[in-house]
Amino acid sequence: MMKKRQVEEMGTDYDSIATEYQKIKVNAIKKYSEEFTFFEALGDVRGRSVLDLACGDGYYSRALRRAGAGPVVGVDLSRQMIRMARAMEAEAPLGIEYRVGNAATLGAIGAFDLVTAVYLLQYAADEATLRGIITTIFLNLKQGGRFLGVTGYPDLTPLHLEAQAAYGIVIEPQGPLADGVVMRNTFTTADTVVRFENHYWTRPTYERIFRETGFQSIAWHPMQLSPEGRELYPAEYWQAHLQHPAIILLACSK
């Protein structure tokens, strides 16, 4: 049997796990549930300008551009992630601009119709950083603009944690589930094990900071399942994810 490649990485440094992350990223939950839920909540993006924070290798930046959004700017903290995004842009140009930047301190780089952030908020290690990220989102939106983000499920129970085993995911809170607690994540696929850490934030804390920053409305969208996903995998496969998810979508209007 092929030995699994072990990748250890603590904290939010994606430079060293960028390539391995690409492997775990292409999974059924991302494609048929997370991405489907994201685009269902987003609606028609044709002609809408987008700032995609924590764009990683540009997975959603490209999907948004293909759906007709533009201009699209992707920003990520990891140089390696941005290198990979730019390499894909060079290979198949879509007109996306990628920049290295920290979403917690970025400030205004434009006035966008939409700001997106799939897996960013839970990388904030403390409330000041979470507030910094939410302020950046606010500053980059036009009045009436929308933010869509996917983040860690804010009402986790032991059942939610146990349910992830069905997908090769182990999430270990490093303390009682409270704001800022470190969450140790281990993703295992056929040929790789990826470990990384992020943080737990509760629903009232997210809502308080979004409101204090100036957002008018905050809506939570549970994960849905695309018709394609329903067809490709049996209902039992989806049960754990749909009943006890590890992620949720957040939509806020300025």
Nearest to 75 by CA among 123, 109, 48, 24: 109
State the minimum distance, in angstroms, from the CB of residue 129 to ligand SAM.
7
Cβ neighbourhood burial of 147 (10 Å; 0-12, 13-18, 19+): buried
Name residue 74's beta-bridge partners.
Answer: 52, 98
Q: Residue for token digits 């002609």?
A: 47
State the minimum distance, in angstroms, from the CB of residue 60 to ligand SAM.
5
State the minimum distance, in angstroms, from the CB of residue 235 to ligand SAM.
26
Q: Which residue lies nearest ligand SAM, judged by its C-beta?
A: 56
Which residue lies nearer to ligand SAM by CB, 3 or 40? 40
Helix locations, 140-216, DSSP H: 158-163, 203-213
From the list 41-49, 102-110, 205-213, 220-228, the region that binds ligand SAM by CB under 6 A is 102-110
Nearest to 120 by CA among 72, 52, 172: 52
Q: Which two tokens stand for residue 159?
A: 């059942």
Quick check: 232 and 219 in contact, CB under 8 A? no
State the minimum distance, in angstroms, from the CB of residue 55 to ligand SAM.
6
Contact between 123 and ligand SAM per CB under 6 A:
yes
Residues 177-196 vs ligand SAM: string with x where CB under 6 A?
--------------------
| # of chain residues touching ligand SAM (CB under 6 A) | 20
List, edge to edge, every strand of the sheet that includes 247-253: 97-100, 72-76, 50-53, 112-118, 141-152, 247-253, 217-221
Which residue lies nearer to ligand SAM by CB, 16 or 217? 16
From the list 3-11, 48-56, 162-170, 214-222, the region that binds ligand SAM by CB under 6 A is 48-56
Contact between 20 and ligand SAM per CB under 6 A:
no
Out of 102, 202, 205, 213, point to the residue binding ligand SAM (CB under 6 A): 102
Characterize the bridge pairing of strands 247-253 and 112-118.
unpaired
Q: Which two tokens stand for residue 47?
A: 């002609």
Which residue lies nearer to ligand SAM by CB, 49 or 116? 116
Which residue lies nearer to ligand SAM by CB, 25 or 221? 25
Q: Which residues bind ligand SAM (CB under 6 A)?
A: 12, 14, 25, 53-56, 59-60, 76-78, 81, 102-104, 118-120, 123
